[in-house]
Amino acid sequence: MLAMLIRRLIQSIVVMLVVAFIAFSLFQFVGDPINNMVGQEASAQERAELRERLGLNDPIPIQFMRFVGNAAQGNFGISYRMARPVSAVIAERLPATLELAMISAFFALSMGIGLGVYTALKRSGVLSNFIMTVSLIGVSLPTFLIGILLIYIFAVELRWLPSFGRGQVVRISDWWTTGLLTPSGRASLILPAITLGLFQLTLIMRLVRAEMLEVLRTDYIKFARARGLAQRSIHFHHALKNTLLPVITITGLQLGTIIAFAIITETVFQWPGVGLLFINAIRFVDVPMMSAYLVLIALVFVVINLIVDVLYFVVDPRLRATKH
Partner 1 sequence: MTTEQTAGDQPLRPSLWRRILDSDLLYSFLRKPVVIVSFVLTVIIVLAAVLAPWIAPHTPFDPASLNLMNGFTPPFSANEFTGDTFILGTDSQGRDVFSAILYGARISLLVGFSAVAFAMILGVGLGLLAGYKGGWVDSLIMRVADVQLSFPAILVALMIFGVMRGVIPPQQQDQMAIYVLILAIGLSDWVQYARTVRSSTMAEKNKEYVQAARLFSVPAHRILLKHILPNVTGPILVIATIGLALAIILESTLSFLGVGVPATQPSLGTLIRIGQDYLFSGEWWITIFPGLTLLVLALSVNLLGDWLRDALNPKLR
Strand, coil or helix: 245: helix
Rounded to 5 degrees, φ, ψ at 177 are -115, 145
Q: How many other CB atoms are there within 10 angstroms of residue 74's CB atom? A: 15
111 within 8 A of 208, measured Cβ to Cβ:
no
Strand, coil or helix: 171: strand
Rounded distance, CA 13 to CA 11, Å? 5
Give the HSE-up count for residue 159: Cα atoms under 13 Å, Cβ half-sphere: 0
202 within 8 A of 108, measured Cβ to Cβ:
no
To partner 1, the closest distance from the beta carbon of 164 in angstroms equals: 10
Select 111 or 255, whichever has its Cβ closest to partner 1. 255
Number of residues in contact with partner 1, rule: CB under 8 A?
Answer: 44
Residues 287, 292, 295, 296: which binds partner 1 (CB under 8 A)? 287
To partner 1, the closest distance from the beta carbon of 312 in angstroms equals: 15
Q: Are strands 170-171 and 177-178 parallel, antiparallel or unpaired?
A: antiparallel
Considering the rule CB under 8 A, would residue 306 count as an interface residue with partner 1? no
Considering the rule CB under 8 A, would residue 296 count as an interface residue with partner 1? no
Site string for partner 1, 148-177 (x = CB under 8 A): xx-xx--xx------x--------------
Considering the rule CB under 8 A, would residue 297 count as an interface residue with partner 1? yes
Q: How many other CB atoms are there within 10 angstroms of residue 179's CB atom? A: 24
Q: Which residues are within 8 A (CB) of 79 and not within 5 positions of it... i.e. 6 or more apart?
A: 85, 86, 89, 281, 286, 288, 289
Q: How many other CB atoms are there within 10 angstroms of residue 104's CB atom? A: 28
Considering the rule CB under 8 A, would residue 6 count as an interface residue with partner 1? no
Select 111 or 296, whichever has its Cβ closest to partner 1. 296
Residues 10, 127, 282, 314: which binds partner 1 (CB under 8 A)? 282
Applying CB under 8 A, which part among 2-10, 32-40, 227-235, 281-289 lies near partner 1?
281-289
Considering the rule CB under 8 A, would residue 132 count as an interface residue with partner 1? no
C-alpha distance from residue 135 to each of 143, 188, 264 (Å)? 13, 25, 20
Select 65 or 303, whichever has its Cβ closest to partner 1. 303
Give the HSE-up count for residue 109: Cα atoms under 13 Å, Cβ half-sphere: 19
For the purposes of burial, counting CB atoms within 10 Å of the CB of 186, is it exposed (0-12), middle (13-18) or buried (19 or more)?
A: middle
Considering the rule CB under 8 A, would residue 260 count as an interface residue with partner 1? yes
Select 187 or 285, whichever has its Cβ closest to partner 1. 285
Residues 53, 217, 283, 324: which binds partner 1 (CB under 8 A)? 283
Query: Nearest Cα to 185, choosing from 203, 172, 200?
Result: 172
Within 237-256, which residues bind partner 1 (CB under 8 A)?
256
To partner 1, the closest distance from the beta carbon of 169 in angstroms equals: 23
Q: Which residues pair with 85 in a beta bridge?
A: 78
Residues 6, 17, 18, 127: which binds partner 1 (CB under 8 A)? 18
Rounded distance, CA 68 to CA 40, Å? 31
Q: Which residues are within 8 A (CB) of 148 and not within 5 positions of it... i.e. 6 or more apart?
A: 268
Applying CB under 8 A, which part among 21-29, 37-45, 69-77, 95-103 lies near partner 1?
21-29
Considering the rule CB under 8 A, would residue 34 count as an interface residue with partner 1? no
Residues 43, 45, 140, 322: which binds partner 1 (CB under 8 A)? 140
Note the residues at the interface with partner 1 (CB under 8 A).
Answer: 15, 18, 22, 25-26, 29-31, 136-137, 139-145, 148-149, 151-152, 155-156, 163, 256-257, 260-261, 263-264, 267-268, 278-279, 282-283, 285, 287, 290, 294, 297-298, 301, 305
